[in-house]
Each structure stands twice: as structure tokens, then as C-alpha cells.
Amino acid sequence: MTLQPVKPVYVLVGTDAYLQDAHRQEIISAVVGEADPQIAVATYDASAELAEVLDALRTLPFLAARRAVVLRDADAFISANRETLEKYLQAPVETAVLVLMVSSWPKTTRLYKLVAKIGQTFDCAVPEKTDLRGWLMQAAKKRGKTLAGDAAGLLGEWIGGDYAALDGEIEKLSLYVGRRDTITLADVSALVTATAGPAAFALTDALTAGDAAGALTAMGGMLTVRGEEFRVLGLIGWHVRRVMQAHQMVAAGKGPDVAMKAVRVYYNRQQFANLLRRRPMNRLVSDFRRLLAADRAMKTGADAKTALQQLVVGLCAQSG
């Protein structure tokens, strides 16, 4: 996604909420830079009045070069105010950017042609699988990794067009391969298949809640085939790493919501926030050492199931 130079108007078209929000965040980042979004961004929904939107666009930014004005679910707003929007876009102010989030964007309208001339439009619909592969490779590239073509194809087949889930899988795989540059088909097979079922979600949810009994039960449901042990270990490792990353962000002054968004926590956010509060960084460092010890034990002949059980109990133990 390229936003240089910044345009006076952007239109995000489609029904995929994850894609729309990802584009919205990148646009806002490019528009306001280091400025506080709470000051430099105004967001409205379908009930917005035309006058307040125009006032927001014409209000000079405070402590920022530009301000962003975002309209969510803007289809009805556009239909009701089309002529005024057309007039505005013929001479938009230089200190504000208008972001329209819509489900449809007819090419036959004058407004479409104006945006094509001075702004930028992003497709936020679920693409075909051939396009999905390219999106997955780009998501891996943003994390400094190369995603093999066959690995991307398999991910697309298994997960489908759920971008939030796909982005989470790429995040897990990037952490899983560590310093290695390439995410391979074997990596996808080793990690994603083990985390696609309800037992895996139950395991990470239980670890987040500190529920040792629930975590052990969920893990037992995953260890039904020989060789699954290291896949489960990879899942637990992903969980520990993202908790540490979020904790570091909070310690650096970022809010919990910002930290959770950065590590792709989309569900059970309150439980995750509680985990960040109750688990100090020194305990998380111990958790990571415990993870490494379990990995070493499993690779040197220790009983894998016992090592994983001990790891899970340790991760769920309350700090004291």
C-alpha cells in the first residue's frame, strides 16, 4: 500500500472489516504521522450530519500537519450528500484528508471519477485465491519473511478468506521460524494444522486465563497423534512470545489496546489485558526460559507429554 504523496480523499470499498481497518490504520498513520490520533482524527458513523463533517474537514489541525476525517458505513451518507461532496472534492482543503468506508462504489458516478482523479481507492473485498496468495506473501514480507508459494497456497486452502485469521497465522509462523528467512510448506503443516481446531483455541484461551486444568484438557485433545508434541510446543511458544511483546509495549507507554492490536489479539481481549497486568516481565522471562527448557528436554529424549504438561502448569501458575 503506497500513500505518498498523501491524497485529499481515500475510499475503502468492500465488506471485509479486517481489510478496511488495516487500510484505515495505514492511512491515518501516513496522514497524522507522530501526532496524537485522538487530536488529529475525527471519526463518524452513518448517522453523521453533513455540517459537522464539513466543519471537521475545515478545522485547522492542532499539533499536526493534517487531520483525518473518517466516515464509517458511509454509503447512506454519500447518497444523501452526493452533490455537496462532489463540490467539496473539486476544491478540498489542504490540511485534511477524507476517508470514506463503503460497501459499494459505483464507477458510473461523478464522485467516483473525482476520487479517481485526486484520491485513491482500496479494494477491501475478499479476493480470489490467486490474489490471496499474493496478499499472504506481502503480509510475510512486512515481517521480514519470505513465504514460499506452496506454503501460501496451503494457507489459503485451509483458512480461506478470513484476513484476521490469516494475519494471525502469518504472525505465528514468523515467530515460529525465528531467525530463518523463509516460511516453508513444512512450517505451515507443522504449526497451522495443529492450531486450526477448537482445541488449540481452547489451549491458548486457558493459558491466557491462567486455567491450568482447562489448558491440560485442551492440550490432551491435541496430542492424539504421535509427532503432534512439537506442533503444540510451537503454539505455546507463539503465545508466550506475543504476551512478552505486548507487555514490552505497555511498559514503553503504549496502552493495552494498542499493544493487543499490535500482537493481533482480536478475541478475549479483557482476559489478555488481565494477563498483562498480573504477569510481570520477570515472570514472563521465566516463562520463556521454561519454554526453552521444555524444547531442550523434548529434543534430548524426555517424555514429551510430561514436559508439555509441566510447561503448561508453570505458565498458568500465578505470580507470587
The residue from 139, 161, 195 where one domain ends is: 195
Residues 117 and 185 reside in one and the same domain: no
In a domain, 4, yes or no: no
Residue 265 lies in a domain: yes
194, 222 contact by CB (below 8 A):
yes
Grid coordinates of 194: 495443529
The CATH number of the domain holding residue 101 is: 3.40.50.300
CA–CA distance, 69 with 50 (Å, rounded to integer): 12
The separation between CA 211 and the C-alpha centre of its own chain, rounded to angstroms, equals 25
Kindly give the pairing relationship between strand 146-147 and strand 120-123.
Answer: unpaired
Residues 35 and 110 in one domain: yes
- Is residue 72 domain-resident? yes
On the question of pLDDT at 298 being above 90, the answer is no
Mean pLDDT, residues 256-274 taken together:
84
In this structure, is residue 22 part of a structural domain?
yes
Q: Quick one: pLDDT at residue 130?
A: 45
> Which residue range is the domain that position 61 belongs to?
9-123
Give the total number of structural domains in the chain.
Answer: 3
Tens-digit pLDDT profile for residues 120-147: 999 887 655 446 788 899 889 989 999 9
Residues above pLDDT 70, as percent of the chain: 91
Is the residue at 1 inside a domain? no
Q: Are residues 230 and 294 in the same domain?
A: yes
Query: Is 3 domain-assigned?
Result: no
Of 185, 219, 189, the residue nearest 201 (C-alpha): 219
Give the per-residue pLDDT at 119.
94
Mean of pLDDT values over 273-297:
90
Strands (E), 178-266: 182-183
pLDDT confidence of residue 128: 52
User: Of the segments 152-166, 198-212, 242-256, 306-320, which one has the largest average pLDDT value?
Assistant: 242-256
Residue 194 pLDDT greater than 50, yes or no = no
At residue 129, the pLDDT reads 44
The pTM of this model reads: 0.50
